[in-house]
Amino acid sequence: MSRSTGTPGTKRKRELGIVTFALDVWNHKRGRIGVLIVAFFVGLALFGPLISPYNPYAFVARPYLQPSVEHLLGTDGIGRDLLSQLLWGSRITLLIGFVVAVSVIIVGSAVGLAAAYYGGLIDELLMRFTDELMVLPSLPLMIWLATMLGQNMWNTILVLAIFGWPSMARMVRSETLSIKNRPFVDAARVSGAGDLSLMTRIILPNVAPLIVANGILSIIGAILGEASLSFLGLGDPFNMSWGTILYFAQIEGAFYNNGWAWILAPGLSIASIGMAITFIGTAITDIANPRLRSA
């Protein structure tokens, strides 16, 4: 007997569903604003090194220069061009945000699905471990773990992912519990679908909008987490990020040398990408839950 889940018609409906969902996000007022802002920063990350006027690590002028035609954001405390640092830093900041978000989605969804679907001892063990991570003070532990692992971009991603997935697991578990006993799941179970098929092909698509919405919002947490660790001197000094720029602004005395652009540019960039991602998350939530529609 052929399996309907693999038929061309089903795949076509799935593709059309994705396109329709993307159009709904675009037609949502806040969603469109968020998409445009994120697209702008992604463009900076992709093409920043090509349009960057200088090497971000090279000494190109006198220290503490104010914004000018040659250096639109001025220079830092050792004469490096700040605009070049901002452009190059967008790559590392967004890379960390997206990789952490994907990690959070994968781990959190797997734990939440397994806990809710199997229940019993598996649910108890997974949720107790999840609760332990959630109640621990995350920032001091992230600082300690980052110090132990060393200043490396991938270590930063690992630290942020470890403390980012528990809330996703809790949300997925809660939603899965409300879905797993519904008639369409029982019908699929009676028709012979196995546990893995039920979780990935029946339950997961119904939880997916909330997973995507919360996964997108986790990008903000990752970007802010990286900025916090870098500001404290625990980021990767060999990979320029927006948090690293703020760290150098702190230790090189930007506050005392009229370095307003040095602080404002990365700060506004972090705030802008955070606002944009929040708008996209709000749009996805409104589309998935029309009763919560706010725009």
Whichever domain contains 204, its CATH number is 1.10.3720.10
Can you give the pLDDT at residue 10? 52
Judge residue 85's burial from the number of C-beta atoms within 10 Å of its C-beta, 0-12 exposed, 13-18 middle, 19 or more buried. Answer: buried
Q: What is the rounded CA–CA span in Å between residue 177 and residue 116? A: 6
As a whole number, mean pLDDT of residues 34-45 equals 93
Q: Tell whether the torsion through CA atoms of 53, 59, 62 and 67 is positive or negative.
A: positive
Measured between alpha carbons, how far is 108 from 119 in angstroms, rounded to an integer?
16
Annotate 9-37 with DSSP letters as a single string. Answer: HHHHHHHHHHHHHHHHHHHSHHHHHHHHH
Average pLDDT of span 274-286? 89
Using a 10 angstrom Cβ sphere, with 0-12 exposed, 13-18 middle and 19 or more buried, the burial of residue 6 is: exposed
0.75 surpassed by pTM: yes
Is residue 58 domain-resident?
no
Q: What integer best gives the mean pLDDT of the chain? A: 86
Residue 60's CB is within 10 A of a number of other CB atoms, namely 16
Name, in order, each residue with C-beta under 8 angstroms of 231's C-beta and a sequence gap of 6 or more.
243, 246, 247, 250
Top-confidence residue, 249 or 2: 249
Q: Which residue has the higher pLDDT, 217 or 266?
A: 266
Does the pLDDT of residue 8 top 80, yes or no?
no
Distance of CA 99 to the CA centre of its chain: 7
Taking the C-alpha atoms of residue 271 and residue 173, their distance in angstroms, rounded to an integer, is 31
Is 186 inside a domain boundary?
yes
Phi and psi angles of residue 81, each rounded to the nearest 5 degrees, phi first: -70, 125
For residue 205, the model assigns a pLDDT of 86
pLDDT digits (tens, 9 = 90+) for 78-130: 999 999 999 999 999 999 999 999 999 999 999 999 999 998 899 999 999 99
* C-beta separation of 33 from 61 below 8 A: no
- pLDDT category at 5 given cuts 50, 70, 90 is very low
Q: What pLDDT sits at residue 291?
A: 57
For residue 36, the enclosing domain spans 9-53+78-292
Q: Which two tokens stand for residue 164?
A: 């980012």
pLDDT in tens, 248-260: 998 988 888 888 9
Q: Does residue 251 fall inside a structural domain?
A: yes
Q: Which two tokens stand for residue 33?
A: 């604003």
What pLDDT, on the 0 to 100 scale, is given for residue 285? 82
In-domain check, residue 119? yes
Residue 66 lies in a domain: no
**How many domains is the chain partitioned into structurally?**
1
Cα–Cα distances in Å, from 40 out to 86, 152, 230, 273?
Answer: 14, 27, 24, 10
User: Quick check: is 60 in a domain?
Assistant: no
211: its two tokens: 């997973």
Strand partners, 31: none
207 occurs within a structural domain: yes
The radius of gyration of the chain's CA atoms, rounded to the nearest angstrom, is 22
Neighbouring residues of 89: CB distance < 8 A, sequence distance ≥ 6:
56, 240, 241, 242, 244, 245, 266
Q: Is residue 104 part of a domain?
A: yes
Across residues 205-209, what is the average pLDDT? 86
